[in-house]
Structures are given as C-alpha cells and as structure tokens.
Structure 1
Amino acid sequence: MKVLVVGGGGREHALVWKLKQSPRVKEIFCAPGNAGIASLARCVPIGAEDISGLVAFARQEKIDLTVVGPEGPLTMGIVDSFNEAGLAIFGPNARAAAIEGSKVLAKELMAKYGIPTARFATFSDAGEAVAYIRQLNAPCVVKADGLAAGKGVVVCRTVEEALEAVGDIMVKGVFGAAGSRVVVEEYLTGQEVSILAFTDGKTVIPMLPAQDHKQVYDGDQGPNTGGMGAYAPAPVCTPEVYQTALEKILIPTVRAMAAEGRPYRGVLYAGLMVTDEGAKVLEFNARFGDPEAQPVLMLLETDLVEIIEAVLSGRLAEKEIRWRPGAAVCVVLASAGYPGPYRKGYPISGLDRVPPDVMVFHAGTALEDGRVVTAGGRVLGVTAAAGTIAAAIEKAYAAVEQIHFEGMHYRRDIGRKALSASKIR
C-alpha cells in the first residue's frame, strides 16, 4: 500500500510515524513534510492546500490512501476532490469540516440539538458585539468565526480586553476574512480536556482523553498558541466524564451533523471544559489535534491503517481499538517570540543525543546545507511514554535538555495538572 500524508507539522510527523508501523504500508509520501518526516517518508514539494496538485500527484503515484492532517485543506474540500477522482482519502468532506471552519455554525448546531456548551451570541457588526460585551461583562471569550491557526480565541479578563479583541478581529482584521463574524460567549471555569474520536458517521469510538496547554507561558499565562504541549490520558476526564462526553456530546453531534445533511466521517475532536455542571464544548475540530495527536498516537496499539479502512468502509462498529497502558507526554519547543513574530533558520543541535525510545516529532523544521534548522513557530514536539504520567514527564524533559537552538522556548509545567490526580484512568 502507498500512503500520502498531507501536511508538514508535528501532527503529520506523528501520523507518518504511526502509519509506517503498519505491515500493510510499503511506501509513504508526505506533502510538503519537514526535516524530521524526511527520515521516514518521501517529502514532495506540494503545499497542503494545493488540492489540484495533490490530486494529480495521488493519481500519478497510484496512491492507495491519503490521510489529511491540517484543517485548511479539509475545509477547502480536499476530501470532495479526492472522492470525485475515485481516490481513497481519510477525513470529513467540506460540509462536515465546516464544524471547525465556522465557529458560528458549530455553536448554532449545539444550540439547536441541545449539546452542552457556553452561552453565546454571534455578531457580524462590531458595534453590536461591543454593546453585548458591555451588557455581558467580563470575563468572557471572543472568537473569530473562521480558521485562525489556533490563535483566533481570545480569553478576556476585563471588558476592555474584550473590546480590544473585537477591534483587532473585526475592525483591524488581524485574522482576515476569518474575523468577519465573531462569537462572544460566557467564560467557563474548570479544566480543559480534548477527546478525539474516530467515526464512520454512525459508530463513534473515542480515543484516550488528552489535555493540551494552549497558553505560551507556564501556569496558563500569556496569549493562546497552537498548543505548547499535551499529555494523555488526562485524569480530569474520569470514567463518568468520558461516558457523558460520549453520550451527550460526541454521539449527538455526529447524529446532528447527519440530520443537517453534513454526514461526518473521520476524526472528530471535541475540546471540552470540565465544569461543576459537567463537560461543555469549547470547540470542535475536524481532524487530529496538534499536539494532542503526538501522545495519543504514541499510546495507540491498534494498526491505524486498519482503523481508517474500517471508517472508510462504514464498519467501525466491528473494530476493537486497543491502547497501551501508561501515559505519554509531548513538550513543544518553540521559537522565541511565538505566537508573535519569530525568526527562522537557527541550527538545531542535540537531536542525536535524544534516547531512541523518545520521539522528537518535527513541527517547524527544514534541511539547510545538510543541517536541521528552525522553520516555524512551533519547532519540535518531544514525546515520551512511560508507565505513569510522572515518569513520562521526567523522561520527556530529560530529552528536552539534550536539544538546543537559539531562542528555544518551552513550558516547564506540561502534565503538572495530572500529578495531583490519584491515578491514571
């Protein structure tokens, strides 16, 4: 089997790594890939959003299966284009991926079908949003409607911060067309958890619950990023929370999407807040999370190709998905300045000193004159698995200490919230 993975970040490196373990896979291509992926797959210089180029390549190389990593091509309709060309591809079509592409659509879907989420209002006029914020008071959350690389959500502690967020998104247009509408919602308190699930549109099988760390600094301080690290399983997601999320959120959402003429097939990501009133949806994503995919895939025991084929054939109910015991932790190493402006091209040293049982998933790297250099805001995801969360944290950070590039920044508290829990689920 020849497999094509679309994308070039840490999630895609983890997908390539996991898919390569399948005895069914003979050759893997990745478009566009990165310096780390190049050691496992043949990287091809086609952008993740160059859909016509990807279809032509898949036809030319007789690709048997394409797996899409990022949200951009999914919302643009890459699955529709591949299906029209008679090519097997894993992911939701454009109408289904709109659950991530439009926060307004997602919130209105939840309101219509009684799926628990924060109280909200949507606006296409900045003045009306400002008036609502003054009435709602703070804290509150302001979200750009469209895709903004994980940075379109602003948690506002004061009314002034919320008004500034509306000005940045709707007036200044910092996220372009993605900010033509905003969602303003109540601020939820609790701990976040990410539950990703495989679904063929009928059956829903959740993966291990993970916890992302979105803010750039320790203690959940600073601006939101695409994710500074993650671990799985997350003890805050007790068996009760897990079951409730499945029965009250994941299954009803898949059914609601089908009822709306948007049948969903692929990975559905539910970002949840575990509140005193139970789990509530913060956001839906239409694909594997990044960096959640890294620890979750490290703990996946079942052949990922077999799971994907069960989804594509509508036979997921027949598939048992097995997980390795223990826990896994991913620590993201970022460029100085991220999530704001940052410089690229700094050589990365120490990768050869990382123990072989720790995976360094490349996110923003490139090869330059035979050297691996920085090429993005999030550069590497150092990921380790062990019998306990404490051991996995220690193992990951010991590996982090071996790596260096100029301006390297990382959070030192990834997984700390889990240590207070009495046991791993």
Structure 2
Amino acid sequence: MNILILGSGGREHAFAKKISESERINNLFVAPGNAGTETIATNISISLTDFHAVKEMVLENNIDMVVVGPEAPLVEGIHDFFLGDEALRNVSVIGPKKDGALLEGSKDFSKQFMEKHQIPTAKYKSFTSKTLEEGKLFLDTLQPPFVLKADGLAAGKGVLILNDVNEAKIELEEMLSNNKFGKASSKVVIEEFLDGIELSVFVLTDGKSYKVLPSAKDYKRIGEGDTGLNTGGMGAISPVPFANDQFLSKVEETIIKPTIKGLQLDGIDYRGFIFIGLMNVNGKPFVIEYNVRMGDPETEVVLPRIQSDLVDLFEGVANQTLEMKTYSVTTQTATTVMLVSGGYPESYEKGKEITGYDSIKDSIVYHAGTTSDQEGKVVTSGGRVMAITSFGNSIEEALDKSYRNIDKIAFDKMNFRSDIGFDLK
C-alpha cells in the first residue's frame, strides 16, 4: 500500500514513524513533511489546501490512502473533494468529510451538537456583531472568569479567558466588530468557565464502531507552572493518572457513545479521529471542545503507546470493519517535551543549526519545525522544533529520560519547559 500523510509537524512525523512500521506499507510520502520525515519517507513540497496539487501527487504515485494531519484541509473539504472526483474516489481518506469537520470548524455547531445530543458541556450562548450588546448583557449574568471563543479556526489562538467583565466586553467587541481573529470571530461563543483539570481523550471511528485511544494531557503555556502565553503545546503525558477506569467509563458512557450515536442520527458519515478536549470537574467529565484530528504534541505520546498495526486500523476505518480489528496499548507511561525556538510563541528566528539529536538512543526524537538546508544540515524552521518522547514505568522515569537526552541537543536560543507533568506527580 502507498500512503500519503498531509502535514509538516511533530504529529505527522509520529504518524510517519508508526505507519513505516507496518508490513502493509510499500511507499510512504509526506506533504510537505520536515527533516525528520524525509529520513523515513519521501517529502513532497505542496500546499495542504491546494487540492488539485494533492490530486496530481496522488495519481502520479498511485496513492491508496491519505492520512490528514491538520484540521484546515478537513474543514475545507478534502475528503469531499476526493469522493467527488472519479479518479480519486477509491482512494481512502482518514479524516471526516466537511459536515463532520464542522465539529472543529465551528464552535457554535459543536455546542449545538452537544446540546442536541445531551453531551455534558459548559452552558453557552453565541453572538454576532448584530447581537453584540446582547452579548455584553449576557456577560453580566456570568461569574468570572469569562470564556470567549471565536467560532471558526483561529490557529489555536481564538480562545480568551478573562477575569474582568469590562475587559471581556472590550475583547468581545474587538472579536465581533474589529475582526480580532479575522473571519473566525465573525461569531463568538461565550460560555461559563469550568473549574477542573484538563485532559484529552482520542477516539478512532469508522462511523459505526470505535476504538478509544490512550488519554493524554498537554501543557499549553510557555512558562513554568503553566504561566505566560499560550502555545501549540510544550509537552504531553500519557496516560493521565487521574483518568482511571472508572473515570474513562464515565467518558465513554456520557460522551463517546452519545457523540458517535449523534453523528449517526444527524446523518454524518464520520471516518477518522475525534479528539475530545475534556474538563474533569469533581470526577465528572465535561466537553470543552471537539477536534477532528489528532492533537500535537499529544500524538507524540499516544501513537507510541499503540502496539497494534496502525495501517490495519486505518483500513478498518476506510472499510468500516474497525470493530473486527485487534487493538492493544502498552501500560508504560510516555512523556514528551517540546523544544522551541527562542521568542516563541511570539517572534523568533529560523535557520538555526540543530546538533546532538542524532546521538540519542533511549528516547524518540520527533521533528516538528525542522528542515534541511542546502548543505544538508538540519535547521530550525518553526516555533516548535522537536519533541523528545520517552517511556517509563512512571511519569518521573519517563521524564528523566527525556530531560537527560535534551541535554545532548542544542540550537541557538533553544527553550523548553522543565516542569512538564508537574501537576500529576
């Protein structure tokens, strides 16, 4: 089987590593990929949302399956594009069609979906520029902190949590009237704040049955102790210690099953990943958000723990035979620590040579924002540069391996958090 992975980050390198282990794979391609994927696959430099370029590449290389990493191509309808093209419709696409991708593409749609199917989530209301004053009045009815979410995709930056009601009203106006997040904030969801501890649960579904993948917890803030600006993720841990069998049973009964059933009732043929962002509020799970793909850096701790053949599972998704596929997970803990460019998540420099990563033996190095320069050196090309994943019989043991190996890696102004998992030990 020839497989194409769309994307260029740590998530896609993790997919490439896992897929390359399968006996079913003949040729593996990643578009556009990074310096890590090019060592185990063929990188193709095309835009993820240029569907005609993707079509040309798929036909030229006899691709049998496309695994979509990020959300943008899914929300823009790449799966529908394949189904609507006679030359492509027999190529399997792992990722939902446009109607299913609305779970991530529109916060308002996902909240309506949860309300309709009685899936526990925070109370909310949605507003546009025409109902701005109503939105301000609604804020007065809530207790701080106040949660404002841009309805559309905003590159992970469209959520604001504010403690002052007047500041919340100003930001609401900035989002709705002054396009703070562009088209993404033409509608804004205001919801009550849920006080608890976050985690993520991942599900792989063929539209009929599903497999619950390992739970994970990531760390978004740039600074120690979860302080400073939000990032795409500074590290992750799997499994989550408090997500025991009893808690995960609640998640399955009150959230996963109603989600899959709801998609079926709404006539949405969903085939791919569902990333469920959860809040554990006094032992009860509530949905913060849905994403329609795997998370990053959660993928870098979830996929390594899966012992089954990932391509076999994907074939089950494509053919709706997932229920018949075997699935197992290691009991060991996986941790990952993200190395980032100095200045990230604000302005940072690129092109810094990375050394030492190729001498690491007992951790997995996932490339994220890397590329090869004209001399063949691996250099930085993004804010999040590498994720260092390790296994252990405890969080401490796994993290100790990751941090010891990070000491061997260097690039100019390299930054990372030294306290990943601080709240779980």
Bin the TM-score by the shorter chain: over 0.9
Distance 1:21 1:66, change over 3 A: same
How far apart, CA to CA, are the structure 2 residues paired with 1:338 and 1:387? 32
- Deviation, 1:277, is 5.8
| CA displacement 1:206-244 (0-9 Å, x = unmatched) | 111100111221212122221111110001212111011
SS class of match (2:342): coil
- Deviation, 1:346, is 1.7
- Aligned match of 1:101 in 100, 105, 117? 105
Q: Which amino acid aligns with 2:145?
A: P
Q: Which amino acid aligns with 2:71?
A: E
- Aligned match of 1:367 in 358, 368, 372? 372
Q: Which amino acid aligns with 2:281?
A: T
Contact 1:11 1:291 in 2 (8 A): yes
- Deviation, 1:135, is 2.9
2:233 is the counterpart of 1:227 = yes
Identity of matched residues, %: 40
How far apart, CA to CA, are the structure 2 residues paired with 1:343 and 1:162? 33
Q: Which amino acid aligns with 1:40?
A: I
SS class of match (1:417): coil
Contact 1:2 1:25 in 2 (8 A): yes
Contact 1:66 1:88 in 2 (8 A): yes
Counterpart for residue 270 of structure 2: 264
Distance 1:190 1:22, change over 3 A: same
- Deviation, 1:261, is 2.3
Contact 1:307 1:316 in 2 (8 A): yes
Counterpart for residue 119 of structure 1: 123
Contact 1:191 1:236 in 2 (8 A): no
- Deviation, 1:88, is 1.4
Q: Where does 1:222-261 land on structure 2 (aligned, <5 Å)?
A: 222-261=228-267
- Deviation, 1:98, is 0.7
SS class of match (1:347): coil
SS class of match (2:255): helix
2:355 is the counterpart of 1:349 = yes
Contact 1:7 1:47 in 2 (8 A): no
TM-score by length of 1: 0.95
SS class of match (1:194): strand
Counterpart for residue 328 of structure 2: 322
Counterpart for residue 134 of structure 2: 128
SS class of match (2:35): coil
- Aligned match of 1:110 in 99, 102, 114? 114
- Deviation, 1:263, is 2.3
- Deviation, 1:161, is 4.0
Distance 1:2 1:276, change over 3 A: same
Counterpart for residue 154 of structure 1: 160
Matched length: 418
How far apart, CA to CA, are the structure 1 residues paired with 2:166 and 2:355? 43
Contact 2:146 2:191 in 1 (8 A): yes
Counterpart for residue 200 of structure 2: 194
Q: Which amino acid aligns with 2:8?
A: G
- Deviation, 1:165, is 3.2
How far apart, CA to CA, are the structure 2 residues paired with 1:129 and 1:225? 28
SS class of match (2:335): strand
Q: Which amino acid aligns with 2:15?
A: L
SS class of match (2:211): strand
SS class of match (1:177): helix
How far apart, CA to CA, are the structure 2 residues paired with 1:131 and 1:277? 32
After TM superposition, where is structure 1 displaced by more than 4 Å over at least 4 residues in a row?
none
SS class of match (1:155): strand
2:92 is the counterpart of 1:92 = no
Contact 2:362 2:401 in 1 (8 A): no
Identify the range of structure 1 (23-32 vs 80-89) with the bigger mean alpha-carbon deviation. 80-89
**Structure 1 unaligned regions, length at least 5:** 420-425
2:303 is the counterpart of 1:309 = no
SS class of match (2:316): helix
Counterpart for residue 343 of structure 2: 337
Counterpart for residue 363 of structure 2: 358
SS class of match (2:302): helix
SS class of match (1:418): coil
Counterpart for residue 75 of structure 1: 75
- Deviation, 1:373, is 1.4
How far apart, CA to CA, are the structure 2 residues paired with 1:165 and 1:347? 40
Counterpart for residue 37 of structure 1: 37
Distance 1:118 1:331, change over 3 A: same
Counterpart for residue 184 of structure 2: 178
**Considering only aligned residues, what root-mean-square deviation do their CA atoms show, in Å?**
1.4
Q: Which amino acid aligns with 1:304?
A: L
- Deviation, 1:340, is 2.2
Contact 2:341 2:413 in 1 (8 A): yes
- Aligned match of 1:278 in 258, 279, 284? 284
Q: Which amino acid aligns with 1:123?
A: F
How far apart, CA to CA, are the structure 1 residues paired with 2:368 and 2:300? 11
How far apart, CA to CA, are the structure 2 residues paired with 1:167 and 1:361? 40
Distance 1:119 1:262, change over 3 A: same
Counterpart for residue 175 of structure 2: 169
Contact 2:247 2:283 in 1 (8 A): no
SS class of match (1:136): coil
